[in-house]
Structure 1
Amino acid sequence: MQKVKIGIIGLGRLGMVHANHLVNLISDADVRAVCALDDDQLAYAKKNFGVSTYKNYKEMIDVEDIDAVVIVSPTGFHPEMTEYALNANKHVFCEKPLGLNMDEVDTMVRQIKMHPKKIFQLGFMRRFDSSYKHAKKIIDDGKIGKIIYIRAYGIDPISGMESFKKFATDNDSGGIFVDMCIHDIDLIRWYTHDDPVQVWALGNDIAAPELKNIGEYETGVAMLKFKSGMIATLLGGRHAAHGNQVEMEIMGSNGWIRIAQEPNKDFLTLFTNEGVVKPSMQSFSERFSEAFIDELRDFVNNVKTGKNSDISVDDGVKALKIAKACKESADQGTLVDIKLS
């Protein structure tokens, strides 16, 4: 296989990021077609990427000569699109999370496992970020001892609130824990090889009370107890005034790791009569640009070589169940036991 021929489903904010990367930066990828519902997005893709355009993903899969499908649609459509692509003999890259309805996800997982010769890769891109990878090596080498506690923040800029409200109104996001904290849940499981057994979670809409009308928490906090006794705190939100705040602190018995304590845009610091200012990154796509590229490059290489992804579908299922347990705890105001089997 010289190049991997790809069709992309979804051209929203992240879909367009993936399309640009696949077309312009990944030499072994050959994007043949895209599918979206928005006419402006399709016109942009046709003009700038030189690809065929579709509004029906099944038609694109049936008609186009492609090897793989990259799914960046709203989460609720992930299961049916993955199943259709696999049954059409295509490899699949699917953005996180696997889905919203667990019955649909269970069917999706069965289909994935019924197609062992087809690569399925889930978009947990933080595993490809250089800082998180460095932390993984430090932990695996035992340099900070046994992990005692992990604290993880993921807070979007408040400037994106209007865009999010439209997205959440048109498409069920799954809530703050499923939509955002799931990345940190995956990282914590990756670092510790451990699973949580209980969660206590809370949520509020103090910074955006209008989200109550669509059943969303603006801020969600979860405290997780793991099998080993380790504790983790997750915080997800959409109210960072300064930009995109994504950070993690890993406390070990013999040392600590702190990742991205400040979301610095670059190495510049501005000193004026108004004080000292460090510009901040304004979006997740900016913060994780290289990680997004590397995960797609990894997927394309896995398709070419027949190598399974290091991120298994079971990782996706467990992360989703944990995130849903966090939401259940916040909704009910109770301690929730987490059942992963």
Structure 2
Amino acid sequence: MRKLRVGVVGMGRLGKVHAWNIAYQIPNAELTAVCSGRAEGMDYARRELGVEAVYPDYREMLAKADMDAVVIVTTSSEHCWQIEAALDAGKHVFCEKPLGVDVAQCKLAEAAVERHPDRTFMLGFMRRYDKSYAYAKKKIEEGAIGTPYLVKATGMDPESAVQETLRYTKTSSGIFLDLGIHDIDLMRWFLGSEVTEVYAMGATFKYPGFREAGDAETGAAMFKFENGAMSMMHVGRAAPHGYHVETEIVGTDGILRISAVPEKNLAMVYNVNGACTECVGSFPERFAEAYRNELQEFVDCALKGRQPGTTVYDGTKSTIIGYATTEAWKTGKIVRI
């Protein structure tokens, strides 16, 4: 079997998930190199992944590593120049969301992708590869709920991770772009239309560090689409019960609801607290299968010379909407796109 030789740059929590999947879960891929600016990340690659080609510098990895493709899982502000550098070096590229932290960066990435039509580029909107979300999209296309006209989305990170979240908040590009980007992508995907107006609010109630960083602990937004459809989004940084994601799509003939309760599994505990179900604790746990599926799709596309469904333009459009949402929150005005 022909295998795609892959290097991973960025060995934070999600970088380790992607690297592990490439090393052990994707049959037609081989993890041949890792780049990390931290000694802990390089040690992990050697110890847990069996990778000897470990680099502290990204450009050095591009120049020296034996690889066909790069998986980029670095700080959001680094994505676009790293995409350009990898494509210009002749590599296929998978990049985690968001595409960039401003539109100018996104346009840089677009131009690089357009210069290299023979290279596969894929953006990591993994929820499209979750079996429940993919099933919902299929049912919409089959007309199961008629014409979809409203999406209601909730996404909350667990309070157990709030201190880690506070550490990167200043460089995260804000709650709506960092945390809400997946919901924004799903709204566009399910409704088949683009946002024309947004109004948003943000607040901090429990952890003032978010306010001090110029961000918000929780946020809500309403969107209007070109085709007249609507959407509502609630995002939060500190859900006490665990990682919580749910999406509802309302149509003229029915409703689809995904993950109404963020259950860890089907077990129920009966004790002094009542009848209780545990919740998933993190996004790698909830979307473990989706992360594998999207990387499998990327590898298959690169080996077969085709392009995936999630494109660089999806990244640009979602970034534009995310920034417009942030502007709407900070100005208190409806922002037209």
Deviation at 1:148, TM superposition (A): 2.4
Distance 2:209 2:7 in 1: 37
Residues 49-89 of structure 1 deviation map (CA, whole Å, 9 limit, x = unaligned): 12111110100110011100000000000011111101100
* Partner of residue 26, structure 2: 26
SS of the residue 1:32 aligns to? strand
Name the CA distance, whole Å, in 1 between partners of 2:38 and 2:315.
29
Match of 2:325 in 1: 326
1-structure distance, mates of 2:262, 2:284:
13
Measured against aligned partners, the alpha-carbon deviations of 1:233-274 in whole angstroms (never above 9, x if no partner) come to 011111110100000011111111110010100110011132
Q: CA deviation at 1:101?
A: 2.5
Report % sequence identity. 40
Gaps of at least 5 residues in structure 2 are: none
Q: What is the SS of the residue equivalent to 1:112?
A: helix
The amino acid across from 2:55 in the alignment is Y
Paired amino acid for 1:140: E
Q: Could you list the per-position Cα deviations for residues 280-336 of structure 1 after superposition, in whole angstroms to 9, with x for gaps in the alignment?
A: 100001000000000000000001000111111111111110111000100111110
- Return the alpha-carbon distance in structure 1 between the equivalents of residues 168 and 55 of structure 2: 21
**Correspondence for 2:178:** 179
Q: What is the aligned partner in structure 2 of residue 302 from structure 1? A: 301
- What is the CA-CA distance between 1:190 and the residue it aligns to? 1.1
Aligned partners of 2:169 and 2:210: how far apart in 1?
A: 9
Alpha-carbon deviation of 1:228?
Answer: 1.6
How far apart, in 2, do the equivalents of 1:332 and 1:145 lie? 36
CA distance in 2, matches of 1:264, 1:107: 40
Output the aligned Cα RMSD: 1.0
* Cα distance in 2, alignment partners of residues 168 and 137 from structure 1: 36
Shift in Å at residue 104 of structure 1? 2.0
Partner of 2:314: 315
Corresponding letter in the other structure for 1:335: I
Deviations 1:26-61 (A, max 9, x none): 111111110111101211111121211111010011
**Cα distance in structure 2, aligned partners of 1:76 and 1:274:** 45
The answer for the alignment partner of 1:336 in structure 2 is 335
Shift, 1:166, TM fit: 1.1
Aligned mates of 1:203, 1:48 — CA distance in 2: 40
Paired amino acid for 1:315: D
Runs of 4+ off more than 4 Å: none
Question: 1:50 & 1:292 partners in 2: Cα distance?
Answer: 21
Corresponding residue pairs, total = 336
Aligned residue in 2 for 1:279? 278
- Contact in 1 for aligned 2:3/2:28 (Cα 8 Å): yes
Tell me the residue number matched to 2:79. 78
Per the normalisation by structure 2, the TM-score is: 0.98
**Counterpart of 1:122?**
123
* 1:43 paired residue number: 43
Instruction: Kindly indicate whether residue 149 of structure 2 is the aligned counterpart of residue 136 of structure 1.
Output: no
Distance 1:275 1:48 in 2: 41
The equivalent of 1:146 in structure 2 is 147
CA distance in 2, matches of 1:48, 1:21: 12
Q: 1:200 corresponds to which residue? A: 199
Corresponding letter in the other structure for 1:14: L
Instruction: Report the alpha carbon displacement of residue 215 of structure 1 after superposing the two structures with TM.
Output: 1.0
Question: CA contact under 8 A between 2:102 and 2:319: conserved in structure 1?
Answer: no
Alignment partners' CA distance in 2, 1:273 and 1:310 = 48
What's 1:2 paired with?
Answer: 2
Normalising by structure 1, what TM-score?
Answer: 0.97
2:33–2:66: 8 Å Cα contact kept in structure 1? no
Partners of 1:64 and 1:182 lie apart in 2 by 32
Deviations 1:96-125 (A, max 9, x none): 111113212211211111100000000000
Aligned to 1:210: 209
- 1:270 counterpart letter in structure 2: V
Q: Distance in 2 between matches of 1:107 and 1:316?
A: 12
Deviations along 1:120-154, whole A, 9 cap, x unmatched?
Answer: 00000000000001110111111111112110000
CA distance in 1, matches of 2:112, 2:149: 38
Q: Does the 8 Å CA contact 2:84/2:109 hold for their aligned counterparts?
A: yes
Q: What secondary structure, in the 3-state scheme, does the structure 2 residue paired with 1:310 have?
A: coil
- Counterpart of 2:219? 220
- What residue identity is the alignment partner of 1:336? V
SS class of match (1:311) = coil
Amino acid at match of 1:18: H
Secondary structure of 2:180's aligned partner: helix
Aligned twin of 1:168: 169
Q: Whole-Å Cα distance in 1 between the matches of residues 47 and 243 of structure 2? A: 31
